[in-house]
Amino acid sequence: MKFVLVLLLISNIVASQSIETRELKSFLLNQQREILIYTPKGYKKEEGKKVNVIYVFDSQSREMFDYVHSTISFLKPYGVEYLVVGIVSPYLPDRKWYRNTEMLPAPDHPTTSKKWKGNLGKADSLLMFFENELIPYVENEFHTYADRTAIGHSNSATFVLHSFLEKPNLFQNIIALSPNLVYDEGQISRRVVRMECGSLISNKFLFVSNANEADDNGWKDWKNERDKFYSLLEDHPCSDKLGFSYIELTNQDHMKSFPEAALTGLRNLVNHQFYDVKKLQLLLKHREIYDHEVITADVINSYAYENYYIDNNFEAIELLDWGIGLFPNDDNLFDSKGEILEYLNRKSEALNSYKQAKFILIKNKNNFDNEEYEKRLTIYNNRIGKIE
């Protein structure tokens, strides 16, 4: 679908990182939509490197957008980058279109509309804007992976849960911070009960937080609905696909809980994507299918070292064993495995792994130029000699 782009300004450029404010003409919404885009340091589209993408709702509260892109920069593995897109909700009183108008789904109960004074019910319109205009635009402007992440707080957290239930694979990863689960007499929970497992791609990530809304904010009915929602997800037939977790920040109120909740959600996301071997394997297979990114020995090796660097040594070995199964003639995978085994003082196993690396190298000598071959042979001989 065609729409108009107006580049308003580049508000900040530091060490090749940039934050831009852009304005999109949405034909579906008949609105000018403001978005913020954080581009990671050194990103160049022409180099073809793909980036992960996080969509941050409520970015009219700029501190939320800034917190997410700043925090993920500290948590990500080396070589992994995140593009962060901020969604600014408009204030259009002449059209009776506000933040809550587009964040809250159409109600089931007539009393809900009366309670919210009619400022609700356009969540599906916002979803259509995402699916047909914004996401295609972002993916045309940048090389992004298909496993997108959405993060929202309060009513925008209700929206990201609505998106999960309405279009479960639009966002692979959901971070819903203090969602309004009492909306429309518990609509979200009712829909979770009806959720069908067949529509879900495996390896989803669903993180939810809550604060002490019942006491600190006086929203007494929030706790019961929240507890019900958590139980429904934990006991759901689809639970093996959901990757569901939550945190209860009962020492904080609704707004002040955002930083700690967002930090925990983003940290759990990175761990889910890159530091859980089974889930990382699923992620790489998912990207092979949907992003046409071929799994290589070098990719597996790099993620194994990322785990090794944070002392996830057994996960690193498991990854390398998986890689060796896929690429049994890759000498470097055996060498890496030997290095980690040696670090764990499993010297006999390390020696066997180094010898296997040397054997494969010699067998495949014609695949290397002489300098690279001699360099590797020297390394392997030194490693073997050190142990023997």
Secondary element (H or E) of residue 52: strand 52-56
Here the tokens at position 273 are: 């994507």
Structure tokens belonging to residue 388: 């023997």
Asked whether residue 316 falls in the same domain as residue 252, the answer is no
Q: ∠137-168-163 over CA atoms, to 5°? A: 70
* 23 shares its domain with 55: yes
Q: Output the domain CATH number for residue 372.
A: 1.25.40.10
Predicted confidence (pLDDT) per residue in 35-47, tens digit: 999 999 888 877 7
Describe the chain by its helix, strand, coil percentages, rounded to 5: 55, 15, 30
Give the Cα separation of 356 and 351 in Å (integer). Answer: 9
Q: Residue 291: inside a domain, yes or no?
A: no
pLDDT of residue 5: 41
Q: Looking at the domain assignment, is residue 336 inside a domain? A: yes
Q: The tokens of 214 are what? A: 């019942």
What total of structural domains would you count in the chain? 2
* pLDDT band at 16; cut points 50, 70, 90: low
Whats the size of the chain, residue-wise? 388
Last residue of a domain, one of 232, 262, 284: 284
Do residues 191 and 199 touch, judged by C-beta distance below 8 A?
A: no
Is the pLDDT confidence value at 115 over 90? no
Coil/strand/helix, residue 49: coil
- On whether both 28 and 72 belong to a single domain, the answer is yes
181 & 301 share domain? no
Contacts of residues 26-30 at CB distance under 8 Å and 24 or more positions apart, as own/partner, are 26/129, 26/133, 26/134, 27/1, 27/2, 27/3, 27/133, 28/1, 28/125, 28/128, 28/129, 28/132, 28/133, 29/125, 29/126, 29/129
Per-residue pLDDT, averaged over 160-187, amounts to 96
Stretch 289-309: mean pLDDT, rounded? 94
Per-residue model confidence as pLDDT tens digits over 335-376: 999 999 999 999 999 999 999 999 999 999 999 999 999 999
pLDDT band for position 202 (cuts 50, 70, 90)? confident
Identify the domain boundary among 284, 309, 329. 284
User: In which region does residue 264 sit, left (phi positive, over 0), alpha (psi from -120 to 50) or beta (all else)?
Assistant: alpha
